[in-house]
């Protein structure tokens, strides 16, 4: 059964939601039958990277607030991250466009390593304060996650996986997804936001029950018939 997740590595609640979902998955008895598919979603496609500007200063500017007010607003985010064991140094995160990072995730999907790279990118942005729009930074992140450095650099210096990112975002728009994280269970049930672990677990259980029923063989009773070798007697 597939769980599809639209996410942006610039979204703290995507990071928190990932860990809450994973905590639910660990409790789910059929976790080995679950496939997770990551989808790209840019929160601010037109954002211009500026390593000299912190995310908090940027938020203060666009919202017309003082830095202290923004810091106060982010306390809930910090506490929510801390509750699931995440070190969110939001004050260290810098203003970075996430398109290149999404291309890296798309490449990682072809290697079966999307989850590892997604996690590494979240940590790079929110914990380590790295520029996730810098190719060499992304090469190091990919390499540390298990990808080949030369392959990552070649991908990011080309136009590869641009269409895949755009396709994911077009799909989200067509489905009416306007915010992330957004989870779809078994192509049927949707959950928006960093939900409680119990909510994720309930969605897993409900969708898996329907998934299991759809995989059951057709029940039948035997009557007169012809065999595969043409014997109709």
Quick one: three-class SS letters along the chain? Answer: CEEEEEECCCCHHHHHHHHHHHHHHHHCCCHHHCEEEEEECCCCCCCCCEEEEEHHHHHHHHHCCCHHHHHHHCHHHHHHHHHCCCCCCHHHCEECCCHHHHHHHHHHHHCCCHHHHHHHHHHHHHCCCCCCCCHHHHHHHHHHHCCCHHHHHHHHCCCCCHHHHHHHHHHHHHCCCCCCCEEEECCCEEEECCCCHHHHHHHHHHHHHHHHHHHCCCCCCCCCCCCCCCCCC
Q: Where are the domains of the chain?
A: 2-215
Q: What is the pTM of this model?
A: 0.90
CATH 3.40.30.10 fits 2-215, yes or no: yes
Local confidence pLDDT in tens for the 233 residues of the chain: 999 999 999 999 999 999 999 999 999 999 999 999 999 999 999 999 999 999 999 999 999 999 999 999 899 999 999 999 999 999 999 999 999 999 999 999 999 999 999 999 999 999 999 999 999 999 999 999 999 999 999 999 999 999 999 999 999 999 999 999 999 999 999 999 999 999 999 999 999 999 988 776 555 555 565 655 556 55
Q: How far apart are CA 87 and CA 91, in angstroms?
A: 12
Cα gap 114→18, rounded to integer Å = 13
Which residues, other chains included, contact 117 with Cβ-Cβ below 8 Å and sequence gap of 6+?
104, 105, 108, 141, 142, 145, 147
């Amino acid at each position: 059964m597939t769980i599809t997740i639209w996410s942006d590595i610039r979204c703290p609640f995507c990071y928190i939601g990932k860990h809450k979902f994973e905590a639910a998955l660990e409790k789910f008895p059929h976790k080995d039958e679950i496939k997770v598919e990551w989808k790209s979603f840019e929160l601010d496609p037109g954002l211009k990277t500026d390593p000299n500007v912190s995310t908090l200063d940027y938020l203060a500017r666009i919202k017309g607030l003082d830095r202290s007010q923004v810091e106060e607003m982010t306390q809930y985010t910090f506490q929510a991250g801390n509750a699931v064991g995440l070190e969110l140094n939001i004050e260290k995160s810098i203003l970075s466009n996430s398109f290149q990072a999404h291309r890296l995730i798309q490449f990682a999907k072809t290697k079966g390593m999307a989850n590892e790279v997604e996690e590494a990118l979240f940590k790079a942005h929110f914990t380590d304060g790295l520029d996730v729009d810098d190719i060499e930074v992304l090469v190091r992140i990919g390499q540390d996650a298990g990808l080949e450095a030369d392959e990552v650099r070649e991908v990011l210096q080309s136009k590869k996986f641009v269409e895949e990112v755009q396709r994911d975002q077009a799909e989200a728009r067509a489905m009416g997804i306007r915010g992330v994280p957004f989870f779809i269970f078994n192509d049927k049930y949707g959950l928006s936001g960093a939900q409680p672990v119990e909510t994720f677990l309930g969605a897993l259980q409900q969708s898996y029950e329907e998934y299991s029923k759809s995989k059951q063989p057709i029940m039948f009773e035997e009557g007169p018939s012809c065999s595969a070798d043409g014997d109709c007697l």
